[in-house]
Amino acid sequence: MLLYTGYIGGICTTVAFLPQVIKTWRSRSAHDLSWGLLFLLLVGVFLWMIYGIVSADIPVMLANMITGLLIISIVGMKWWFDHRFTPSG
């Protein structure tokens, strides 16, 4: 039962991040997201993933691996959208 609790918790926290990824993609802007937030969140998720690997905790490992990929996608979009060429005039 505890394992299922871990899976459900992992699914909830990972899926909760999806609307931000979708909104960022649709709006072509991540201006409202700070680099500090994204960096700290990515570090935290990476450390949780390491913890999951070391402790062989599959729900923790999977949830944080997927969430990390979602954060990396937002980081990439933020960088791309902030640095894309926009003609002036």
pLDDT digit string (tens) for 25-46?
A: 999 998 889 999 999 999 999 9
Residue 56: phi and psi, rounded to 5, are 55, 40
Is residue 20 within 8 Å of 74, Cβ to Cβ? Answer: yes
Interacting residues of 64 by C-beta distance below 8 A, sequence separation 6+: 10, 45, 46, 48, 49, 52
Name the pTM for this structure: 0.83
- The HSE-up count of residue 89 (CA atoms within 13 Å, CB side) is 1
pLDDT digit string (tens) for 44-89?
A: 999 999 999 999 999 999 999 999 999 999 999 999 998 876 666 4
Tokens 């979009």 sit on residue? 77
Tokens 């990972």 sit on residue? 14
User: How far is CA 38 from each of CA 5, 14, 78, rounded to the nearest angstrom?
Assistant: 27, 15, 10
